[in-house]
Chain A
Amino acid sequence: MLAVLVLSTTVVASHSSLTGTISAYHYFADGAHESLLLAKEIHEAALLLPWEEGTGSEASFGSDVDTLFELDGKIYSPPRSAGYDIVTSHLGWSQTVEVRTVSMEDPSVEVDKSTFTGQTLTELTVAVKDGEKLVGTYSWWLTDPTSE
């Protein structure tokens, strides 16, 4: 009886452990981790962008993005690094960027900053695709870099 109990526990623990390993394997083998890295490139670029023009910052992302909010709706295919270089190892991939204003109270709710009276938060979302297949979507909250 004791042997059965011990063996069962061992089998369950081993199964759980192996399942975790398989999950981790697929995470890295199927591109999920690469998609996070590609999304992070956009996030790193966004952190350097000014929120308003005329702040004296020289940071930009390509010829048509001088502020954070100009990133909204941009699709980069092939994907770009934080320094706006083409990521040649992933030429078939793309990064779709969205910048939106959400409620501080409930960040799942998008609000119109011009009419919303509560506190707001700026959210950057990057969807990464391998061809037409969506591999991952990642979001970050941001704060104005010029604020004290």
Chain B
Amino acid sequence: MTLHLRTHRRPARAGRPAEAGWVLAASLILATMATAVTITYARHALLAKHTLQFGKGASEVDEASRSELERVRELMRIGDKPGTLSTGTHDSAVTPTGEAVVGEREVTSHGKRELRVQAQGNSTNSTEEARLTASSTVVPGNKPEVDRTTLECPTGDVVLAGMVTIISGSQSYVGTELAGFFLLEDGAELTLQDVILRGTILTRNGACPDHLPATGSNRPQLNVYGGLKLLAGTELPDVAIVAPDMVIEADATSRVDVQGFVSADEVHVNGRGSVHGMVVHNTDEQFGSKMRRPGHGRGPQAWPDVISAGAEEVSSLSFPVDLVPEETIIAMETAEIDGG
């Protein structure tokens, strides 16, 4: 038997040596890139200035964030509390050493505030950033309700007041009678349900015009549920609410009776009742159809004790119709008149 071995030879490709060269070059380039990227990221991870500073216990940008945290605390202390970045009410500044810092304060619950600060420093070759988050608890001394007898303004002026209740944070009163001034700090929320209040509701901006008005979600808010009878007191006669930066909301089931001047940023009163007095607002006003507003802000229309006609024309007169008893009529008709 003869075995024939057939060998098939494939023709050599003309471009093979060149292809091998490209593969080698591409491999070299990729290897170089991979090495460079690895070294760069390793440097960023291990040898970055900020990382090394952190390892050695101090960095400028961390100190800037601590500094901003103190600034936010100071703003809270003086009553000019910042809000959040999303609402545009945050605090921002540039430190003396050039870091841009941003501070936020968010109300997370009735007695809790979250403070967030961020500092960014620009050196020649890199951007450094540090963030700090802290929580703050509303404690006695900064509690939602504080009684005072004076109001102090940024100008140093002190207003003596008989009885001032300072509200910061959230505070509710249900089924009670209140009296005096109620001063709402920036960001405070006062809820009144079935309350009779003889006095005046103020905000910092209302009491002290030099105190900048609160804006956005940091505006003080008055919520009304059930019944509210707000009667201007004797300290500020005919003045019920002086709060140019406050939002007033009364829901559709509320019964509201306000007697006195009202100023607010927004007024939404959808229940039933009456508002006697001028209402001034900055942004929005909404009174439900069941709200009576005698005189539309020209003051209460109570009957005066004495009518002074002055130059006004009297166009008609009316007299009360009194019912005369039958026996009186008979007595009058049967009466004998002398000289008649």
Contacts and interface: CB of A to CB of B under 8 A. Distances in A.
Interface of A: 3, 6-7, 10, 13-14, 16-17, 19-21, 23-24, 27-28, 33, 36-37, 40, 43, 104, 107-108, 117-119, 121, 123, 125, 137-144, 147-148
Contacts of A138: 60, 63, 97
Interface residues of B, number: 48
A43 B63 CA distance: 10
Interface in B29-62: 29, 32-33, 36-37, 39-40, 43-44, 47-49, 52-53, 56-60
Interface string B63-102: 1001110110111011010000000000001111100000
9 contacts: A17-B39, A17-B43, A21-B47, A40-B63, A107-B94, A138-B60, A141-B71, A144-B74, A148-B141
A117 B210 contact: yes
Contacts of A123: 96
Nearest to A28: B52
Nearest to B123: A23
B155 interface: yes
Contacts of B216: none
A19 B43 CA distance: 11
B25 interface: yes
Given A17-B40, A21-B47, 14 more contacts: A7-B29, A10-B33, A13-B36, A13-B40, A20-B43, A104-B74, A104-B75, A107-B93, A118-B154, A138-B63, A139-B67, A139-B95, A141-B68, A143-B73
Nearest to A4: B29
Nearest to B138: A148
A107 B142 CA distance: 26
Given A6-B29, A33-B56, A139 B43 contact: no
A36 B93 contact: no
Given A13-B36, A117-B154, A148-B141, A141 B74 contact: yes
A14 B37 CA distance: 8
**In the complex, the 7 A-B pairs of residues with the closest C-beta atoms, listed nearest first:** A139-B96, A148-B141, A24-B49, A143-B74, A148-B142, A17-B40, A147-B77
A127 to B, nearest CB: 11
A14 B75 CA distance: 45
Contacts of A6: 29, 32-33
A20 B57 contact: no
Contacts of B75: 104
Contacts of A40: 58, 63
Contacts of B139: 148
B126 interface: yes
A14 B39 contact: yes
A138 B60 CA distance: 8
Contacts of A148: 77, 139, 141-142
B125 interface: yes
- Of A13, A14, A143, which is in contact with the most chain B CB atoms at under 10 Å from its CB? A143
B67 A141 contact: yes
Nearest to B155: A117
Contacts of A104: 71, 74-75, 80
Q: Which residue, A23, A107, A119, has most C-beta atoms of chain B within 10 A?
A: A119
Nearest to B30: A6
Contacts of B29: 3, 6-7
Contacts of B154: 117-119
Given A40-B63, A140-B66, A141-B71, A119 B78 contact: yes
Nearest to A19: B125
B124 interface: yes
B93 A143 contact: no
A108 B95 CA distance: 8
Contacts of A147: 73, 77
A37 B57 CA distance: 8
Contact of B53 (A16, A33, A43): A33
Contact of B52 (A7, A24, A119): A24
B70 to A, nearest CB: 5
A107 to B, nearest CB: 6
B304 interface: no
B63 A144 contact: no
